[in-house]
Amino acid sequence: MQTNFYKGVLGIAFSALLVLLFVFVGTPARASEAIEISDAESFAKFESNPTDSVLTEDITIDNLSTGIGSNISKYSETFDGQNHSITILDFEKTSGNFGLFNYTDGATIKNLIVNIFVTLDITGTVHFGGLIGNSTDTLIQNCIIYLNVTIDNPDNKTLYFGGIFGRDIGGNKVENSAVYLTLNGEVKAESICTGRVSNSDTMAEYCNVLTYDGANALFKTENGDVSITQENATSIVSTLGENWNYCSTCARIVSNFDKIHSCSGVEPEPEPEETISEITPILTKTEYTYNGCVPVLEFAEIVKANEADDIAYSYNIDVVDVGEYEAIITLIGADKDKYCLVNDKITFEIVEAKLTLEIASQSSCYGDDLKQIEYKLNGLNGLECGVTFDLVKNNEKPTKLNAGIYEIVPVLTNDNFVLDSYNQATYTIFEREISLEETNFSKTFDGSSFAPNLTLKNVLESDIDFIGYEYISELPFDADTYNINLKLIGESAVNYIL
């Protein structure tokens, strides 16, 4: 999206300059062995095996991981951009010598537009060039470099920054080329052309290198960078020669150009303005129910300048789980350059899918294994979600399951789902039956009281120390036959019945 904006809006302001920079005779000749680069995939193959190459389409590289050339294998071939552009949105490297080309020696790079809109993360010493990190005896012809770079250098590492070269070893030459630079952050040394010069005689060979940093237009001369302002525009333009005789070429690139009506006394004919329509993406809904797939965002109808225009949205999302997300919107279609996005971010939410649950009540005897809960989960529609169950009494989950009646409470195992409803079901644990070791006792009456010593049978071994009995009434002393009434006592008494 940024690339289209810059190529659209800046293209209008610099149209006169582009005509001057790209005056070619015939179509550039292709070496028979030159490979063609038409997309990011073919560019990646070129990175691994750099040779003579031609660019046949505008391409975008989301993250330049390698770059072209190395210290031991410098690029020394010819790269012909054929007036196409390479847009770079991020660099993998955070130290060393790098740019679109890392190292060149004896190379030719021509007819190329480079767009770099990045934040540079710096972790070590860096020589960064918009075109080449480290260059020797290299010819740059008819190239334009747009740079909008923010520096992230928390450890204050050494950074040499150049619009064309990060480090100029010597013997390089730049012809009919321009750099448009916006730089945010601190660097050790910066220049429109090179960050660090190892052979000063190269500087005299630069020509026609012009930049705009958002406030000033800078023209590269043998004596350094000259700023074009309202006050000196007339004198500078008059010294640039016949190729710069139209003051509009210079006036358009200064922030206050509307105050400069004529630099040389010749008012140029106004250029037709191209209308750029603004688009604000709007979602018809911002909430989508989880379905296990990447949601298909539903946009409101695009308002077109012309109903026949080919313009649409694309967005980069790969999420499926419940949560809030932000999608980056990109314009696509043959007429995308006629439009610019007012906002390229859309916020949406994925909410839980609702399920219903049918549970069957269950029961078992104290001490036996709990029976498996039988249930039916409705609303999955081919998705996967399990369920576990807690046994709850008085709204609490007990640490020990004694005899009694418990509520069955379900718990889903997948956070992408929520229970819309479920029926109330219970799990009943019945008391365990136990008996006495002996039930008949006899004793000769001697006037004293007695209490039979009884043994409880079938008590779980884990409960032996937590259960006992007591007599309900005092035993008589007369000779007779009696029924003995007992009461179970102890912590585990609730789990048994005689």
When pLDDT is cut at 50, 70 and 90, the band that residue 21 belongs to is: very low
pLDDT, tens only, 125-182: 888 888 998 989 998 888 888 888 888 888 888 888 777 888 888 788 877 777 777 7
Q: Does some domain include residue 36? A: yes
Pair (426, 436) in one structural domain? no
Mark whether 442 and 384 lie in a shared domain: no
Q: What is the mean pLDDT of residues 288-298?
A: 85
| Confidence tier at 281 by pLDDT (50, 70, 90) | confident
Q: Which of 225-234, 356-365, 369-378 has the lowest mean pLDDT?
A: 225-234
pLDDT, position 26: 35
Mean pLDDT of the chain: 74
294, 320, 351 - which closes a domain: 351
Q: Give the model's pLDDT for residue 410.
A: 95
Residue 459 has pLDDT above 70, yes or no: yes
Q: Copy the structure tokens of residue 298.
A: 């539903």
- Do 70 and 163 sit in the same domain of this protein? yes
Task: Answer yes or no: do 405 and 458 share one domain.
Answer: no
413 found inside a domain? yes
| Domain assignment of residue 241, yes or no | no
Weakest-pLDDT range from 22-36, 57-71, 414-428, 446-460? 22-36
Mean pLDDT of 92-113: 91
CATH code for the domain in which residue 384 is found:
2.60.40.10
Give me the residue label for tokens 């008494």: 493
pLDDT classification of 490: cutoffs 50, 70, 90: confident
- Please say whether the dihedral angle defined by the alpha carbons of residues 479, 481, 483 and 488, taken in this order, is positive or negative: positive
Assess whether 134 and 77 both reside in one domain: yes
Cα distances (Å, whole numbers) of residue 323 to 351, 398, 414, 417? 7, 33, 13, 12
Torsion-angle region of 53 (φ positive above 0: left; ψ -120 to 50: alpha; else: beta): beta
How does residue 361 score in pLDDT terms, banded at 50, 70 and 90? very high
| Neighbouring residues of 406: CB distance < 8 A, sequence distance ≥ 6 | 391, 392, 393, 426, 427, 428, 429
258 falls within a domain: no
Is residue 476 over pLDDT 70? Answer: no
Assess if residue 245 is contained within a domain: no
Q: Based on the fold, state whether residues 459 and 414 are members of the same structural domain.
A: no
In a domain, 240, yes or no: no
Domain that holds residue 333: 281-351
> Among the three residues 330, 351, 372, which one is the final residue of a domain in this structure?
351
Same domain for 436 and 486, yes or no, is yes
Which range, 22-26, 148-152, 198-202, 356-360, has the best average confidence (pLDDT)? 356-360
Query: Is the pLDDT score of 202 beyond 50?
Result: no
d(C-alpha 391, C-alpha 409), whole Å? 6
Question: Is there a single domain that holds both residue 293 and residue 441?
Answer: no
What is the amino acid identity at position 484? I
pLDDT over 50 at 448, yes or no: yes
Ranked by mean pLDDT, the top range of 244-248, 286-290, 313-317 is 286-290
pLDDT value for 213: 39
pTM given for the model:
0.40
Q: How many structural domains comprise the chain?
A: 4
- What pLDDT, on the 0 to 100 scale, is given for residue 228? 47
Are both 128 and 75 inside the same structural domain?
yes
Residue 231: its pLDDT value, please? 47
**What per-residue confidence (pLDDT) applies to 401?**
92
Residue 180 and residue 209 share a domain? yes
Of 22-36, 180-194, 218-232, 385-399, where does the model show the most confidence? 385-399
Q: Is the pLDDT of residue 191 over 80?
A: no
Residue 259 has pLDDT above 50, yes or no: no
pLDDT at 197: 54
What pLDDT, on a 0 to 100 scale, did the predictor assign at position 17? Answer: 39
367 and 385 belong to one structural domain? yes
CA distance 3 to 116: 9
Q: What is the pLDDT of residues 110-141, one digit of tens each?
A: 999 999 888 888 888 888 888 998 989 998 88
Contact, 216 vs 228, CB < 8 A?
A: yes
Per the domain annotation, does 289 fall within a domain?
yes
Interatomic CA distance for residues 165 and 146, integer angstroms: 14
Domain boundary among 324, 351, 378: 351
Annotate 240-302 with DSSP letters as a single string.
S-GGG--HHHHHTTSTTGGG---SSS--PPPPPPPP-EEE---BS-SEEE--SS-----BPPP
Indicate the range of 285-299, 361-375, 386-400 predicted with least confidence: 285-299
Q: Is residue 268 part of a domain?
A: no
Residue 188: per-residue pLDDT: 54
User: Are 121 and 167 within one domain?
Assistant: yes
- Which comes out higher in pLDDT, residue 79 or 232? 79
